[in-house]
Structure 1
Amino acid sequence: MLIGFDLLDRQIVDRDGDPVGKVDDVELTCDADGTVRVSALLLGQQALGERIGGVLGRWIAGMARRLSDSPDRPPPRISIDLVAEFGSAITLKVRRDLLPDPPLETWLRDHVIGRIPGAGHES
């Protein structure tokens, strides 16, 4: 598996096919025998900014931390154990509502979308 080709920027969907987000970065761990494995998928602008690096990456990650409810909160993380299938999209074994919401989505929901008249009513 090539991380840059098979994982990064792939759409993540829950077990019902509802979108969760995109893979913005991955977390790697090293086993006792020296084998490097993907242990988690990282989502959100903070993870993306840290992956991009440079001035633009620091700005993206900084804005994500600033909009978060806790500036030292790490990016949302999905354990690799929750992945059911790797394909054109990454399918999870769980539903979306069991996963943490990315900080930017929470901020947008509370400060922008929630203020639109009728936004709290389902059709």
Structure 2
Amino acid sequence: MTTLRIDFHLLDRQVVDLAGRKVGKVDDVELAAGEDGRLRVVALLVGQVALGLRIGGRFGRWLAAVATRLRAEETPVPLRIPFEHVADVGSHLTLSLRAEVLTEPPLEKWLREHVIGRIPGARDARK
């Protein structure tokens, strides 16, 4: 088992699917204690709510509030990627699956539809 430093190897790293498509950046991680009492990474959390909670303070609350206002669901939750789907940890994190099987964070979807999608030619660009 490889030892990872959360602050160095995981947080704020770009996550890409097995086809190289960007999924987002790691905004927080979910930890669990193993039978031996050691902490292990269970999931990567992606999205503004997770980032806001990680940052904390006034700015973190503001960031989470913006994500909450632009939500598609009643209670916004970050995109949760089980760590077992991480195939490689390097300058970015590569998943062992395609992005299509993951749920898209609501703020990302809202920005794509209401901001990015309104830029001339943006809908014609390849993904």
Normalising by structure 2, report the TM-score: 0.87
For residue 14 of structure 1, what is the aligned residue in structure 2? 17
Which of 25, 28, 31 is the equivalent residue of 2:31? Answer: 28
Distance 1:13 1:122, change over 3 A: closer
Letter paired with 2:15: I
Which of 38, 57, 62 is the equivalent residue of 2:60? Answer: 57
Distance 1:122 1:19, change over 3 A: closer
Q: Which consecutive aligned stretches of 4+ in structure 1 deviate over 2 angstroms post-superposition?
A: 109-123
For residue 86 of structure 1, what is the aligned residue in structure 2? 89
The runs of 5 or more residues in structure 2 that have no matched partner are none
Letter paired with 2:104: D
For residue 2 of structure 1, what is the aligned residue in structure 2? 5
SS of equivalent to 1:40: strand
C-alpha contact 2:67 2:107 (8 A) present in aligned 1: yes
Give the Cα separation in 1 of the matches to 2:123 and 2:8: 39
Give the Cα separation in 1 of the matches to 2:18 and 2:70: 29
SS of equivalent to 1:16: coil
Q: Mean Cα displacement is larger for which, 42-51 or 110-119? A: 110-119
Give the Cα separation in 1 of the matches to 2:58 and 2:45: 21
SS of equivalent to 1:34: coil
Give the Cα separation in 1 of the matches to 2:76 and 2:55: 19
The alignment covers a number of residue pairs equal to 123
Give the Cα separation in 1 of the matches to 2:51 and 2:103: 17
Give the Cα separation in 2 of the matches to 1:108 and 1:65: 13
Cα RMSD (Å): 1.7
> Percent sequence identity over matched residues?
56
Normalising by structure 1, report the TM-score: 0.89
C-alpha offsets along residues 54-105 of structure 1, whole Å, 9 cap, x if unaligned?
0000000111111111241311110001110111110000011111111111
